[in-house]
Amino acid sequence: MRTSVANAVTADLVSLADDLEKASGQGIMASAQQVLQQSAQRVQAAAQTLAPVKTGALRDSITIGYPDPLTAVIGPHVDYAAYQEYGTGTRGEFPTGPYTIRPKKAGGVLVFKIGGRTIYARSVTHPGIPAHPFMRPAFAQALGQELAGKLAAAGAALITKGPGA
């Protein structure tokens, strides 16, 4: 599973920008790019604030990519990001039941602590972890209806006042 794709929030504004550009004649692409970049930065900052932190690797992996001028891909790049966002096992948003954890090496032993006691086991049945959403709430928190409103206002200004408005 590629978590960068699974958790990435993609904002594709090409068709809206094309429509507004046809109506205004010019300038909407630059306005759309500026709004997109500012919005993407707000989503990234909100996601980094909302991400669960143990080591900081998840938070620090949340980046923005621009595959084309009117698309922003915002998301984490650690393997476990989707598990944090959606949870796992019986505690996840898409319950699958408990799962068994075994040592990486054959014949090995798992070692962990519970309540200060060291526990040794050949396997452990784990109920899963609860979801700790951070990308979806970040998108809603940072943007909501604001993105569409800003593009509409920029387009309206260009149409009524001309370029540079």
Report pLDDT digits (tens) over 82-97.
Answer: 999 989 999 988 888 9
Phi, psi of 57 (to 5 degrees): -65, -40
Q: Does 102 reside within a domain?
A: no
Q: Is residue 70 part of a domain?
A: yes
User: For the chain, how many structural domains are there in total?
Assistant: 1
**pLDDT 10s digits, 23-77:** 555 577 788 888 889 989 999 999 999 999 999 999 999 999 999 988 999 999 9
**Both tokens assigned to 45:** 């900052």
The boundaries of the domain holding residue 17 are: 3-87+131-161
Q: Contact at 8 Å (CB) between 66 and 34?
A: no
Is 93 among the domain residues? no
User: In the numeric block, which tokens belong to residue 86?
Assistant: 């959606």
Please report how many Cα atoms fall inside a 13 Å half-sphere around the Cα of residue 56, on the Cβ side. Answer: 1
For the chain, what percent of residues have pLDDT higher than 90? 50
Sign of CA dihedral 33, 35, 40, 41: positive
Q: Are the C-beta atoms of 129 and 104 separated by less than 8 Å?
A: no
3-class secondary structure, 101: strand
Residue 95 belongs to a domain: no
pTM for the model stands at 0.67
Asked whether the predicted pLDDT for residue 19 surpasses 70, the reply is no
- Residue 118 in any domain: the answer is no
- 35, 50, 88 from 133: Cα distances, Å: 25, 8, 12
112: in domain: no
